[in-house]
Amino acid sequence: MTRFGTTLLAALVAVGFAGSLIAGPSEDLFAKTHKGMKEADVASKWYDKLPEWVASLTSKNQFPETWLPFGIEKGKLKSSKELNKFQIRDANKKQFSAYYMVRNGVDANGRTVYEKTNDFGWLAWKGWPAKSIVGTYPVEGNQDNTDLVGFAAWLYAEKENELANRVLTIVHGRDKDLAPLIEAYICDKEKWTRPSEGLKAWNAWDIDYQLERVVLVTPEEHEKRLKQRETDAANEFKELIRARGDYKGRPPRRVPPTRQLVLIEWEIKQFKIKYGSSDFLKDTKNTDKLQEIQDSITDDLALIKDNLDQSRKMATDGDANEMKKKAEFLEQILLIDPMDYNLRSQVANAWYTWGNPAPHGNSCDRADGMKKAIPHYEIIVQAFPNNTGFLMALGRCYQALENSKQARPYYEKVIEIDGNAGNGLTAKALIRNMDQGDQNRAKKDDK
């Protein structure tokens, strides 16, 4: 070091600035939490322990659930534009097994219920997105501050600044000594000038996890987010109105709802929580409109219930004409809430019952019943691809119409799921009958 450099350093030490040249915000924080380790090493150390954490759960038959940008096809994970839910059941240092979970109806609030399947693929740890890890790894209930700081360091390395901030906010709220170091670290990452009055908490409602998430921001950023929230509220409000469709007058209406009514009702409740303190919801015109929509949904759901009660009294004697009338009546009920899969299944089953497929599967009493049931079952199977009951019904519709090419894939899917149990045995028997029927028809055509 030159004489000038030595003199300058001595002067800086005298006024207390030497530390700022030697250590930055991350070094200051990690000096407290990780004995002075470098940020990259802190992040790497945390991530290296992630497989151990997952394996510790799976070894105790505790299986974490997560969202992944994959589907499943013939025992392999395939990239998907949509996120799908998976359960992790096995883990080693290189990879983990992701078991596909399928939708199986909705709960009382209209939220999707998922069930486990045996379809799985192996995924290398690097294929697990950071956002999905945050949804699975313990944060709010994690009392290990050192672990959470390490997690945040890794998230910053993955360019997931908002998620890292959220993790650090947990530690900030319970450790006064670390709080100023965390604020300095966050400001450094965001290239913010740390305000003299400190950072402010920004609260946002996480609909997926039903939790209020908090991040730390500057007063300027806080004001910016307030304005953005007003814009978001207005846009989401319009989307809710579009999803509801027409709702005045007696159904059927010109524009049907694009989501299930109970789900729209639940989303309105979430909207009120998310934007409860916004200026948008302080406007009585908007709150009155939301209440009007909620009231209309309540009325429609009551009407559906009354009509379903009436439908249960129809065709109790097995008369074919009455069974057809019941199916037609249920079709009209479905127009009120076309995205209700349970209601649609009742319509499909009513047409199926009227169609009355033969026990051997190769014919039916009324082909029109089978034809009318098919589009309903196809919509349901698309939503619940592993429900063997619906797969069987759809296969039987096509078989009864002598369409073996269309029926076979549904039976084969049932066998793939159930094997030699449940509907699997029935599907195998129906395939044999179907093949025999095809052979008999071929012989007749040859004569």
Domain finish residue from 118, 135, 152: 135
Q: Is residue 92 in some structural domain?
A: yes
Give yes or no: residues 297 and 346 share one domain.
no
Separation between Cα atoms, residue 9 and residue 256, nearest integer Å? 74
Give yes or no: residues 428 and 338 share one domain.
yes
β-partners of residue 200 are 217
Q: Is residue 152 in some structural domain?
A: no
Give yes or no: residues 370 and 428 share one domain.
yes
Q: Is residue 358 in some structural domain?
A: yes
Give the pLDDT confidence of 94-150 residue by residue, as tens digits.
999 999 998 877 776 667 788 888 899 999 999 999 999 999 999 988 999 999 999
Give yes or no: residues 265 and 328 share one domain.
no
Domain of 393: which CATH number?
1.25.40.10
Give yes or no: residues 326 and 293 share one domain.
no
Average pLDDT on 288-295 reads 97
Give yes or no: residues 321 and 438 share one domain.
yes
Domain finish residue from 274, 308, 342: 308
pLDDT at 447: 62
Q: Express as a percent the part of the chain with pLDDT over 90.
A: 80
Q: Is residue 151 in some structural domain?
A: no
Give yes or no: residues 322 and 428 share one domain.
yes
pLDDT at 76: 87
Give the pLDDT confidence of 52-86 residue by residue, as tens digits.
999 999 999 999 999 999 998 877 899 998 899 99
Domain finish residue from 257, 279, 308: 308
Q: How confident is the model at residue 7 (pLDDT cuts 50, 70, 90)?
A: very low
Give yes or no: residues 384 and 428 share one domain.
yes
- State yes or no: pLDDT of 211 exceeds 90: no
pLDDT at 396: 98
Q: Kindly report the CA angle at 395 between 393 and 396, in degrees rounded to 5?
A: 65
Separation between Cα atoms, residue 372 and residue 377, nearest integer Å? 9
Q: Is residue 162 in some structural domain?
A: no
Q: Where in the sequence is the domain holding 412, given as residue range(s)?
A: 314-446
Separation between Cα atoms, residue 299 and residue 374, nearest integer Å? 30
Q: Is residue 20 in some structural domain?
A: no
Give yes or no: residues 281 and 321 share one domain.
no
Give yes or no: residues 290 and 332 share one domain.
no
Q: Is residue 253 in some structural domain?
A: yes
pLDDT at 110: 62
Give yes or no: residues 262 and 367 share one domain.
no
Give yes or no: residues 320 and 442 share one domain.
yes
Separation between Cα atoms, residue 350 and residue 8, nearest integer Å? 89
SS3 124: strand
Give the pLDDT confidence of 319-344 residue by residue, as tens digits.
999 999 999 999 999 999 999 999 99
Give the pLDDT confidence of 268-287 residue by residue, as tens digits.
999 999 999 999 999 999 99
pLDDT at 21: 43
How many domains is the chain built from?
Answer: 3
Average pLDDT on 385-409 reads 96
Separation between Cα atoms, residue 96 and residue 89, nearest integer Å? 8
Separation between Cα atoms, residue 109 and residue 307, nearest integer Å? 21
- State yes or no: pLDDT of 225 exceeds 70: yes
β-partners of residue 73 are 76
Q: Is residue 167 in some structural domain?
A: no
